[in-house]
Amino acid sequence: MRNRRVRRLLPFVGLVALLLVAACTPPPAPSLSPVENDVFGKHFVYRAAHSLPELQLDDGVSAHAKAWADTLAAQAPSCSALTSVGNKGHSDIARDFAGQSAAENVGCVSGCPANADVVWGLWLQSSGHLTNIQNPVYNRIGVGVTCRNGLQFLVVDFTAV
């Protein structure tokens, strides 16, 4: 009798799980590349799973992130040389978003993968990067990814308005 009840509930439980996953998946942003969409989606899902406020994709903040990813790609000959560009690899985000709370996560990986899995995993293991991802003050996000000479540079800018 108990097994019968469980069997009847399984399709319902599966449907609920599917709906929850769909609810935590952001719609693709038309202005982003597939890898940039992956970066944005990972932030969206992570924050939803941890009951943190949603981040809104901001075109202006994304333009800043993309410009910095392009600069890193042009000036850093390797991922290990990343810290020799700008402020230890970071743009002057405090100046560029004066009067707003702002932070930046930067990553580099060789091979230009089709997703952000490697850099995302590294960010989650880094207390500084994770603090930016989890900070409930931030309500805007910008994403920029540039691939050049077999290196992929990922920049995520967070702001609060």
Under DSSP, is residue 53 helix (H, G, I), strand (E, B) or coil? coil
Which of 6-15, 16-25, 27-36 holds the top average pLDDT? 27-36
In this prediction the pTM is 0.81
The region that residue 39 occupies, defined by phi over 0 for left and psi between -120 and 50 for alpha, beta otherwise, is alpha
Position 4 scores a pLDDT of 56
In this predicted structure, the answer to whether residue 53 has a pLDDT above a threshold of 70 is: yes
Residues 125-136 have a mean pLDDT of 96
Q: How far apart, in Å, are the Cα atoms of 126 and each of 17, 67, 104, 107?
A: 30, 24, 13, 11
Position 18 scores a pLDDT of 36
In this predicted structure, the answer to whether residue 2 has a pLDDT above a threshold of 60 is: no
Position 24 scores a pLDDT of 54
Position 95 scores a pLDDT of 86
Cα Rg of the chain, angstroms: 18
The pair of three-digit structure tokens given for residue 133, joined into one six-digit string: 């991802």
Who has greater pLDDT, 25 or 66?
Answer: 66
Tens-digit pLDDT profile for residues 81-104: 988 887 778 888 888 888 889 999
Q: Model confidence at 1, in pLDDT bands (50, 70, 90)? A: low
In this predicted structure, the answer to whether residue 77 has a pLDDT above a threshold of 50 is: yes
Q: Mean pLDDT across the chain, nearest whole number?
A: 85
Q: Model confidence at 9, in pLDDT bands (50, 70, 90)? A: very low
Position 36 scores a pLDDT of 95
Residue 126, Cβ neighbours under 10 Å: how many? 14
Q: Model confidence at 40, in pLDDT bands (50, 70, 90)? A: very high
